Structure 1
Amino acid sequence: MSGSYLTKEQRDGFQKYKYASRDTSPLAVYLMHPFWNRAVKVFPMWLAPNVMTFVGWVLTVAIFLVLTFYDPFLVAAGSDDKSHEKYNIPQWIWIFIAIAHFVAHTLDGCDGKQARRTNSSSPLGELFDHGIDSMAIWLITVCAYSLFGQGPMSLTVWDYHWIMIVVLLGFYMAHWEKYITGVLFLPWAYDFSQLILLGIYLFVYIFGLEFLKFPLYKDIRLTHFFKWTTHLCFFCIFFPLSLRNIYKSKVEKTDRGLSLVEALKPGVPLFSCFALFTIWAYYSSSNILQINPRLFFTSFGIVFSNITCSLIVNTMSHQKCKVFNKMFIPLIIIDVALLVFRFNEVYVLAVYTFVIGCIHVDYGIGVVNEMCDMLKIRCFSLAPLN
């Protein structure tokens, strides 16, 4: 690590920050929160909430790595090609994944309650939690793709690409909404999707992946239901609710008072990210989205997470959103090169993913360390600094 990761204005802004959130999801209010209120009592009082957040993320990464080992190209579930027969996900893996998924979701729901229980709430805890979530969201999505795979009886990689965009847009919208209103309205879809995914993992463990190929009507299968449900939930439920919250805050004058131009700024880096990766996939000489979708989505997810973390930092510190991300520079060069030349960019993607992964980790560690120094606390311990 080198240099300063937070400006003086950001550090000053964090000193004045007050957390404000609302969780109006009926599932969260009547089921999940009562469960988490009981579950958090299992954890010892000396356990730092950030440890719970981090362990939950590690479990999500573990699921991703296990499925990457058995199904690196997302072909185990959906393809009938005999050349893909070597990619087979053992049945017992799904019960491990179900347990890890449930524990990770529970830890994510309990970490904030543990912070209040131990009187250790701080801006660092919120930043750490939501920063980790920005990585977990795309990891969970790619893991779900291994349930369905790509093939004639399932979905195409382009279907998965658009699903990824919708899922990431849904997550980002919550923080974009907070940038405008000053309040984090927790997405309704999150807990619903986590419980549904848990149920699917358990069903697949019992009945096998063939269960998901069951035709609902003619050639319409459960995989298609997954695709259209994802899109409909965002455009018919989440997006209208988000617009309603923004409109209500404007009418009641409880928002941050941003101009229209300033309020729209967070969309610039997000849609630039979507556009740059879509252009790469569309003009790829080697059909990169088809031959290595997992690596492509990993690269996509890392850039998205970096953009989201930047927005979270600027929102919490009451600073203006940045409209350009340095990770775009290689993407722009790659896209221009693909429009002019034809070359196999598989190794380019691998190098790019590794480099931005290192940059993002460095950024995350740097911001956390500076926050710890500023607030005089430890990230993974409740013990006071000497």
Structure 2
Amino acid sequence: MARLPAVGWYLLPLCAAAVVVCSLKHKQQQQQQQHQQQTKKDDLSLWIDEQQVKMYSGLKMPIYAIMEGKVTPYILDKNFEQYLPVIPSEVGYVNFTWMSGNKNYFYMFDTLDSDDKNILEPPTVTVKTDGKIPKRPKVFSILLPCSGNRSGIASFNIRLLIRNRKGRALPDTPLKVKLRKECMVRGTSKSTSLDLVCDKKCENNGWCNADKICQCPEGYMGQYCKTALCYPQCMNNGTCIAPGVCRCPQGFQGPHCEGGICAEKCLNGGKCIQKDTCQCPKGFYGLRCEYSKCIIPCLNGGKCKGVNKCRCIFGFQGDHCEIGQPIKQYYNCKRPCRHGYCTANRTCRCQQGWFGKFCQRKILKPKHDNHRPGYPHSCEDDDDDMDDYDEVPKSHHRWH
């Protein structure tokens, strides 16, 4: 029987359940639309990206575990574990993407364990086991290292806890997943004789197992071990030509084709993102980020943050930060005081109009003309500041 390409692993732990619960063909267009909308949402999401799904299934669609702050229904299916295939031996990791949007969520992998350590070592993650979920989309991986001692199939367990800034658990979490991983040690096949014809078909040092199926070495996959695996994946339509080696299309460079090639250097902190295209920081524009939105430069360490709009460091004010004098600052606060300065007692003292532990929240003027005493004011988070805020909040919540 011909072996199907090794596609099961990427379903870990979501796609296989989605295949069983609903028709992928029907969901393809629907989830593509959801994915486009999701990038504009402001709440928690966790998914396998569409390029990774297409790489192993042919369907270009994302598969979500969490969308808009809610765990997707098929993750909660009581028969979820029965739907999941065995992860093939040639695949040693699976990638996920997550983001918290404009909200703050904190995570903890409190269980990463293998039921048979003679076959499979406990899985690991490429992020800290606890911390803050990034606001913008970022990729992390679950690594599945075989022990190399014995061939076989071993189960492993993953449990992920998620809570908000107040320490409250996300509904339907922690996420609990039990999966199976195949490991193969060369020379332990049950076959009494080598199938030389099969061995010749297996490329890149692959070999035949007892079922006359090519067993691929780490870094390759496919029916005859022809497909190389790159982690992270090659970006911008790059091609993986060997394990961890990307061939980049014209106009791109970098280990994963993540960077562009600009004939002229991007200025003022700009970043080359594709051929002759610069991504400019706030306050600058132009093909090379050569123009400032502030006609008169910001003085005394101020930064241009909009059209003729300077953000001044504490102690200075004015349209161009030209008024004032520097204030002695200390540098022993846990995080930078964005709109204030660090005092000797390790706390932030905020500029007028700002508040919060790190002076990251702005007091807004009432939208109404009614300024009667007691009329409520609103506030907003400074996105730049909150990206820097990664302290896990203290909580008396007890996880079960």
Normalised to the residue count of structure 1, the TM-score between the two structures is 0.24
Q: Which protein, 1 or 2, shows the higher relative CO under an 8 Å CA cutoff with sep ≥ 6?
A: 1
More helix by share: 1
